[in-house]
Structure 1
Amino acid sequence: MIVTVAGFKGGVAKTTSAVHLAAYLQRLAPTLLVDGDANRSASLWASHEGLPFTVVPEAQAMKYARQFEHIVIDTGARPSGDELRDLVGGCDLLVLLTNPEAMSLDALLQTTEALQNLGGQYRILLTLVPPSPSREGEEARALLEAESLPVMRAAIRQTSAFRHASAQGVPVYGLKGSRSAKLAWLDYERAAQEIVAAIQEKA
């Protein structure tokens, strides 16, 4: 199973999502995270040696890929229409991230035509959704659904737990005694389960 994570704007939790989707898939079978982002954020996270899966730079992916059943690819930001097609062609499902902020949604919606041409080969995951009583997440979901875009039912709530997890080099479930960390992991479990189901449905 190959899952590619992409975003049209920085700051939408792309690496955080790649790390946690890989952490979930590792519980199912050996998983490789390919760090294709020039910032090498996933590699930095892994440098603390607290992640339960293997992380390699994109240039080494071909060497290691055959050893793993699942692969998650963390890409660079702002893919063009042509790059989107290439990304879709290279994976089982492309997961596009956006937070509910207007600039992020605009960046995504500017590519609506290119996205619709991709068919059902991708899903949109809302990230950094502010907690209640904010309605930003619901409003963003309604906007995307009005454009007939495939928005995932799962969404990732905004919490400082992810920042602490990155600093410690562990998945968010590795933070001890944190209720917000448990909820954050639950969000990614739900997202990962939805992704796996979508891929299995296509198979």
Structure 2
Amino acid sequence: MILTLSHQKGGVGKSTIAWNLALEFSKFLPVTVIDLDMQRSMSAANRIRTDKGMAPLDICHFGDADEFVHYIEKDHEGRLTIIDSGGFDSSFNRIAIMASDVLLTPVSDKPFDLLGLQKYEEILEALSGFQEKTIKTHVVLNNLNPALRNFGDVMEFVLMSEYFELMTSVLRQRVDFSNSVGVGKSVIEHAPQGRAALEMKALCKEIGEILNIL
């Protein structure tokens, strides 16, 4: 099974969400993370985790597209692969999109994020034409102001597109997200009763149901 955090725009929260999902799902099934992000944020967090004596994630990188495709061809139901794609358009990221069982795209309510989502829709449309089937991504509202209750502009754009499906889960701006990564933990490990942990648990449950692994 392949789950890809995908968006051609950087800074939307792909690595943070991928990190948390990988640590939570690895509690009950084998998980491999493919770090395609040029900043390799997950790999850095994993080193912190290792240095602190906690069980690290299985993270791998690929030097060329052929190695990446070879890994994908060996994909099977008994393992979950989580791909943290980079915040740019590339052959690696397009391969990940087409190979995935589930795509997850974080987006906030900020204007530049909405513009980026329009560009990402164009990429999905092009790849859908190539595969001759509609490629959809699950859009999760992320990094929202805790006081914000009206997501009208984002929801309207997402719901109008045949390439987007809006998730029920919402992740808001919480200091626990950054603090937990800084100590090599998931937000659920770091502050299990906090609001950020509760939001992440809800997202894990929703994705687990989509992947049929819960």
TM-score range (shorter-chain normalised) is: 0.7 to 0.9
Cα displacement string for residues 68-126 of structure 1 (whole angstroms, at most 9, x for unaligned residues): 7211111111236x766522322211112212111011111134344353625421111
C-alpha contact (below 8 Å) 2:24/2:186 kept by paired residues: no
Q: Percent identity?
A: 22
Residue 37 of structure 2 aligns to a residue whose secondary structure is coil
Residue 98 of structure 2 is aligned with which of 80, 89, 101?
Answer: 89
CA-CA distance at 1:52 after TM superposition: 4.7
Cα displacement string for residues 31-64 of structure 1 (whole angstroms, at most 9, x for unaligned residues): 12221111110011011126655232322874xx
Aligned residues: CA RMSD: 2.9
Q: Name the CA distance, whole Å, in 1 between partners of 2:93 and 2:40.
A: 20
Q: Name the CA distance, whole Å, in 1 between partners of 2:135 and 2:168.
A: 15
CA-CA distance at 1:147 after TM superposition: 3.3
Find the counterpart in structure 2 of residue 32 from structure 1: 32
Find the counterpart in structure 2 of residue 147 from structure 1: 161
Change (3 A) 1:198 1:97: same
What is the correspondence of 1:161-200 to structure 2 with a 5 Å cutoff? 161-176=176-191, 182-200=194-212
- Structure 1 unmatched ranges of 5 or more: none
Q: Name the CA distance, whole Å, in 1 between partners of 2:167 and 2:75.
A: 29
C-alpha contact (below 8 Å) 2:7/2:120 kept by paired residues: no
What is the correspondence of 1:24-63 to structure 2 with a 5 Å cutoff? 24-48=24-48, 49=50, 52-59=55-62, 62=71
Q: Name the CA distance, whole Å, in 2 between partners of 1:145 and 1:83.
A: 28
TM-score, length basis structure 1 = 0.81
* Matched residue type, 2:210: A
* Matched residue type, 1:16: T
Change (3 A) 1:120 1:154: farther
Change (3 A) 1:56 1:143: same
**Is 1:101 matched up with 2:110?**
yes
Q: Name the CA distance, whole Å, in 1 between partners of 2:155 and 2:37.
A: 27
* Matched residue type, 1:169: G
4+ residue segments displaced more than 4 Å: 50-53, 65-68, 82-85
C-alpha contact (below 8 Å) 1:12/1:97 kept by paired residues: yes
Q: Name the CA distance, whole Å, in 1 between partners of 2:135 and 2:197.
A: 26
Aligned length: 194
- Structure 2 unmatched ranges of 5 or more: none
Residue 123 of structure 1 aligns to a residue whose secondary structure is strand
Q: Name the CA distance, whole Å, in 2 between partners of 1:98 and 1:89.
A: 20
CA-CA distance at 1:194 after TM superposition: 1.9
C-alpha contact (below 8 Å) 2:141/2:170 kept by paired residues: yes
CA-CA distance at 1:196 after TM superposition: 2.5
Q: Name the CA distance, whole Å, in 1 between partners of 2:120 and 2:209.
A: 26
